[in-house]
């Protein structure tokens, strides 16, 4: 048992360090996620200076961080927008799942892991990082580009897929097997559909119950409602993250807008805590043995994710430079990959090397992703595209007198 003074010192020092790392990462134009993970590795089990007193605090904070990440994702979209995106981007979402989940699952089986580990690793390699990608698009001034809606539609489909995948993997990790996972998936599908119907028809009533004019009351109300629904969802084996996502979808109008502004600082705080906690529970001594497999997996799935974006952009008539921008922008993995790996670590029944592999994999993709996204802006890349287009252009037909 640790005294409260030690707890305050450890938490305060670590949060201060995270602030410094966050500022440093933005100065060099990278996501802070890899630095947060490295901080957790440095001060966790097997690290340079293990912090024992604050681990329980960070465990609770990490769970809140996941919930806030999901409710903020839900607040970004109305129920009607989600339904529209689901219809228009379903083919791209199907390609995304096949191209990026299957390599992860196959890789786990090649390593000799069981089918549960394959299910988990498939999810880890499937989902791109919405937070990292949004920042990269803003930094590169591409928010108004023609390919950006394609990128966002793929991310929305992934968000919806996670609302179904997380309950399935949670049930399987709990030891209920495929039957229990199928039941959990059916419950999740029914819940998502029910919430979408309620949000479309009665969302304005839910939002009117929360006043956008009183910031304090709105913050407490939305945060309290989110934690309550997330907790009830977890009790029903649906997944706390999915419950939070559905709360965000149900809110709309000025309430959703103001709630996004109020919750953003809390999300940033607890999301940082979440990434640190994952590093804390990952022993850095486990990373060297999985470094080469993680690098190989990253190379394969960065290529498949690039192909996903390229094909999705081509499908809607985007020119070749835009196709490459869409594909390369989707490379980074982050929030959901760590969430899925965290579920596996908490269950304790999956291959022990999975956590180290996931942490290393996310570090590789989240560092190289923003760098790769800049490739289409380099002069040599533009020359290569022009030469490629010229080579594919049909030769002129000679005209004879």
| 344-393 tens-digit pLDDT | 877 776 778 888 898 889 888 888 888 888 888 888 888 888 887 777 76
Domains in the chain: how many in total?
1
The predicted structure's pLDDT at residue 58: 80
Give φ, ψ of 26 to 5 degrees.
Answer: -70, -30
The residue ranking higher by pLDDT, 207 or 146, is 146
What's the rounded Cα separation, in Å, for the pair 385 and 82?
A: 34
* Residue 194 counted as domain residue: yes
CA atoms lying within 13 Å on the CB side of residue 84: 8
Q: How far, in Å, CA of 19 to CA of 6, rounded?
A: 20
- 222-273 pLDDT tens trace: 888 888 888 887 776 566 766 777 788 777 777 888 888 888 888 888 878 8
Q: Tell me what the mean pLDDT of segment 325-337 comes to.
A: 88
Give the pLDDT of residue 134: 73
- Is residue 338 very low, low, confident or very high in pLDDT (cuts 50, 70, 90)? confident
Q: Which residue has the higher pLDDT, 230 or 159?
A: 230
In this structure, how many other beta carbons lie within 10 angstroms of the beta carbon of residue 202? Answer: 11
**Higher per-residue confidence, 155 vs 212:** 155
pLDDT digits (tens, 9 = 90+) for 166-177: 777 877 777 666
Output the DSSP codes for 232-294.
HHHHTTS-HHHHHHHHHHH--HHHHHHHHHHHHHHHHHHHHHHHHHHHHTS-GGGHHHHHHHH
Mean pLDDT over residues 303-327, rounded? 92
397 located within any domain: no
Residues 6+ apart with CB under 8 A from 220: none
Domain assignment of residue 350, yes or no: yes
Does residue 400 belong to any structural domain of this protein? Answer: no
Asked whether residue 20 carries a pLDDT value surpassing 80, the answer given is: yes
- Give me the count of residues in the chain: 401
CA distance 88 to 289: 43
Mean pLDDT value of segment 79-103 = 79
Which pLDDT score is estimated for 335?
Answer: 73
The answer as to whether 370 is a domain residue is yes
Query: Percentage of the chain with pLDDT > 90?
Result: 14
Question: Which range has highest mean pLDDT (25-39, 127-141, 322-336)?
Answer: 322-336
- Residue 297's pLDDT band, with cuts at 50, 70 and 90, is very high
| 388 occurs within a structural domain | no
For residues 134 and 334, give the distance between their C-alpha atoms in angstroms, rounded to a whole number.
Answer: 12
Model confidence pLDDT, tens digit, residues 267-296: 888 878 877 877 777 778 888 888 999 999
Residue 399 is assigned to a structural domain of this protein: no
pLDDT at 325: 93
CB 336 within 8 A of CB 319: no
**And the tokens for 240?**
């706390």
Token pair recorded at residue 137: 């698009």
The CATH code of the domain that includes 361 is 1.20.1530.20
User: In Å, how far from its chain's centre is CA 142?
Assistant: 20
Work out the average pLDDT over 125-140.
79
For residue 340, give its domain range. 1-382
Residue 97 included in any domain: yes
């Amino acid at each position: 048992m640790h005294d409260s003074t030690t707890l305050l010192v450890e938490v305060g020092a670590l949060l201060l360090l995270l602030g410094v790392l966050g500022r440093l990462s933005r100065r060099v134009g990278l996501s802070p996620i890899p630095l947060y993970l490295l901080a957790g590795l440095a001060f966790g089990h097997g690290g340079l200076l293990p912090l024992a007193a604050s681990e329980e605090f960070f465990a609770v904070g990490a769970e809140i961080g996941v919930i806030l990440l999901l409710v903020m994702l839900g607040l970004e979209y109305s129920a009607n927008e989600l339904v529209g995106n689901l219809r228009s981007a379903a083919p791209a979402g199907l390609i995304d799942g096949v191209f990026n989940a299957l390599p992860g699952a196959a890789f786990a089986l090649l390593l000799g892991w069981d089918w549960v580990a394959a299910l988990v690793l498939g999810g880890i390699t499937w989902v791109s990082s919405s937070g990292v990608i949004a920042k990269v698009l803003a930094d590169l001034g591409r928010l108004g580009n023609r390919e950006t809606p394609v990128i966002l539609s793929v991310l929305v489909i992934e968000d919806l897929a996670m609302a179904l995948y997380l309950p399935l993997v949670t049930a399987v990790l709990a030891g209920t097997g495929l039957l229990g996972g199928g039941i959990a998936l059916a419950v999740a599908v029914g819940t998502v559909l029910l919430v979408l119907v309620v949000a479309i028809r009665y969302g304005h009533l839910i939002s009117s119950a929360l006043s956008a004019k009183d910031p304090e009351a709105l913050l407490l109300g939305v945060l309290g409602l989110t934690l309550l629904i997330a907790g009830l969802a977890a009790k029903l084996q649906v997944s706390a993250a999915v419950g939070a996502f559905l709360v965000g979808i149900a809110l709309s109008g000025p309430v959703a807008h103001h709630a996004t502004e109020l919750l953003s600082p809390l999300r940033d705080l607890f999301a940082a805590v979440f990434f640190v906690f994952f590093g804390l529970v990952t022993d850095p001594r486990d990373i060297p043995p999985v470094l080469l497999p993680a690098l190989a997996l990253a190379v394969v799935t960065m290529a498949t994710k690039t192909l996903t974006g390229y094909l999705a952009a081509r499908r809607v008539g985007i020119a070749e430079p835009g196709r490459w921008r869409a594909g390369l922008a989707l490379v980074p993995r982050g929030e959901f990959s760590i969430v899925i790996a965290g579920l596996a670590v908490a269950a304790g029944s999956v291959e022990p090397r999975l956590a180290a592999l996931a942490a290393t994999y996310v570090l590789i993709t989240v560092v190289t992703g923003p760098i790769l996204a800049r490739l289409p802006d380099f002069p040599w890349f533009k020359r290569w595209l022009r030469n490629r287009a010229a080579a594919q252009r049909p030769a002129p037909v000679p005209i004879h007198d």
